[in-house]
Amino acid sequence: MRMLKTTFNYLTFLVAGSFLISCTAGENDTGLEFSPQMYHATSYEPLTQIVDEDAGNWLDSNDEDGHGEFYNSNPYNPYKMTMREPVPNTVRRGQPLPYRYTVNDLEAAALVESPIPAEDESVIKKGQELYDSYCTHCHGASGAGDGKVAEAYAGVANLKGAAYLELSEGHIFHVITYGKGLMGAHGSQVSPEDRWRIARYVKELQKN
């Protein structure tokens, strides 16, 4: 019985030792890999949809079969998509937060400060270019409400009038976004950054 136990211990030690030795990496031998797919996994390529299963398998770690790309369609998705649509209201990294105010929040929006630095002089030049493209036909080059559209429709705002001189950039931004009175909404046509540039230029225009 004692000899049997000794033999069992010896065999156990021999098997354990062999297992450990097999996992040892050498100069030209990386050793035994327990889960090669974990070390050499073929990741999904989210912007390229490979639907041909003959191009390889998404679980296949072999990259030496001559295929440039592997089959990467997701078998668990009914549309075979690998890219997921972002969660609603997700903001892309590096982009400003979306404008949260609604059309009826003008008073609160008027208190919002422009994210554009006040000392950035290039904003005025760019704002003028945008103003000339989107605003001149109604408000006129000087902002006096004497553009070509104003000749046909009465009531175009004179941005140099007393009622408009105290408007904040936040107020102007909001009106450009949603429109007000005769003015239509331009939120879908002009990016948020450019709307702030126009608002900054309007305030500069009112000084002259």
Mean pLDDT value across the chain: 80
Instruction: Kindly state whether residues 68 and 150 are assigned to the same domain.
Output: no
**Is it the case that residue 105 has pLDDT exceeding 80?**
yes
pLDDT of residue 20: 64
Across 115-135, average pLDDT: 90
**Is it the case that residue 33 has pLDDT exceeding 70?**
no
Domain total of the chain: 2
**Is it the case that residue 134 has pLDDT exceeding 90?**
yes
Instruction: Kindly state whether residues 79 and 110 are assigned to the same domain.
Output: no
Q: What gap in Å lies between CA 69 and CA 72, rounded to an integer?
A: 8
Whether residue 69 is contained in a domain is answered as: yes
Lowest mean pLDDT among 34-43, 58-67, 89-98: 58-67
Whether residue 156 is contained in a domain is answered as: yes
Whether residue 13 is contained in a domain is answered as: no
Instruction: Kindly state whether residues 186 and 134 are assigned to the same domain.
Output: yes
- Its domain, for residue 77, covers 35-84
Lowest mean pLDDT among 13-17, 31-35, 107-111, 124-128: 31-35
| Last residue in a domain, options 26, 54, 84 | 84
Instruction: Kindly state whether residues 201 and 140 are assigned to the same domain.
Output: yes
Residue 182: CB atoms within 10 A of its CB come to 13
Which residue in 121, 129, 115, 93 sits closest to 169, CA to CA?
115
Instruction: Kindly state whether residues 146 and 180 are assigned to the same domain.
Output: yes
Across 174-186, average pLDDT: 93
Whether residue 25 is contained in a domain is answered as: no
pLDDT band at 153 (very low <50, low <70, confident <90, very high): confident
| Last residue in a domain, options 50, 84, 118 | 84
pLDDT band at 56 (very low <50, low <70, confident <90, very high): low
Instruction: Kindly state whether residues 122 and 201 are assigned to the same domain.
Output: yes
Across 183-189, average pLDDT: 92
Residue 33: CB atoms within 10 A of its CB come to 13
Instruction: Kindly state whether residues 154 and 190 are assigned to the same domain.
Output: yes
Lowest mean pLDDT among 10-24, 59-73, 125-139, 175-189: 59-73
Q: What gap in Å lies between CA 161 and CA 173, rounded to an integer?
A: 18
User: What pTM value is reported for the model?
Assistant: 0.57
How large a percentage of the chain has pLDDT more than 90? 42
Instruction: Kindly state whether residues 69 and 122 are assigned to the same domain.
Output: no
Instruction: Kindly state whether residues 114 and 201 are assigned to the same domain.
Output: yes
- The CATH number of whichever domain residue 163 belongs to comes to 1.10.760.10
Helix (H, G, I), strand (E, B) or coil at 87: coil
Contact 70, 60 (CB under 8 A): yes
Strand ranges inside the chain, DSSP E: none
Whether residue 142 is contained in a domain is answered as: yes
pLDDT of residue 67: 47
How large a percentage of the chain has pLDDT more than 70? 73
Whether residue 80 is contained in a domain is answered as: yes
pLDDT of residue 43: 58
Instruction: Kindly state whether residues 126 and 76 are assigned to the same domain.
Output: no
Whether residue 1 is contained in a domain is answered as: no
Going by the DSSP 8-state scheme, the letter that residue 114 receives in this structure is P
Instruction: Kindly state whether residues 80 and 41 are assigned to the same domain.
Output: yes
Instruction: Kindly state whether residues 111 and 174 are assigned to the same domain.
Output: yes
Across 62-85, average pLDDT: 68
Whether residue 114 is contained in a domain is answered as: yes
**Is it the case that residue 22 has pLDDT exceeding 90?**
no
